[in-house]
Amino acid sequence: MSELTAQNLEYGAPIFIRIFKGSSTLELWMESNDGRFKLFKEYEICAYSGDLGPKEQEGDLQSPEGFYFVNAGRLNPWSQFHLSFNLGYPNKYDRMQGRTGSALMVHGDCVSIGCYAMTDTNINEIYTLATEALKGGSRSSGCMLFRSN
């Protein structure tokens, strides 16, 4: 990817993703050669469901907000929504708050009932960078921060 080279970033570097519901933006940050994370690119989120604020319970159609880690077991190349990765919601904090839900993803196909949906082109790039980060030795593809802004 020439875009990586132009920003002095390397294919396979660890990534960090931030999602902002208010602006419908997903930011993908990558670790640079000096060990600092650098904003690689911003992507428009096609669709997410619910309002600003965290997911509380199964079926509330809210998209989660919090810190999540995605490991190789949460990647789904056979998703019915093109490609996807599971956020790992509910995490330990969510469970302590009594929050419920499952199978909350970032995926393609631009439709959502609680997930963060991207265009297929964008999820191809995001998914590839996450997969390569894991192959490059990251135990997780980054800390995911999902929040309102």
Catalytic sites, residue numbers: 107, 115
Please tell me whether residue 106 adopts helix, strand or coil conformation: strand
CB 79 within 8 A of CB 117: no
Please tell me whether residue 135 adopts helix, strand or coil conformation: helix
CB 115 within 8 A of CB 89: no
> Number of C-alpha atoms within 13 angstroms, CB side, residue 144?
26
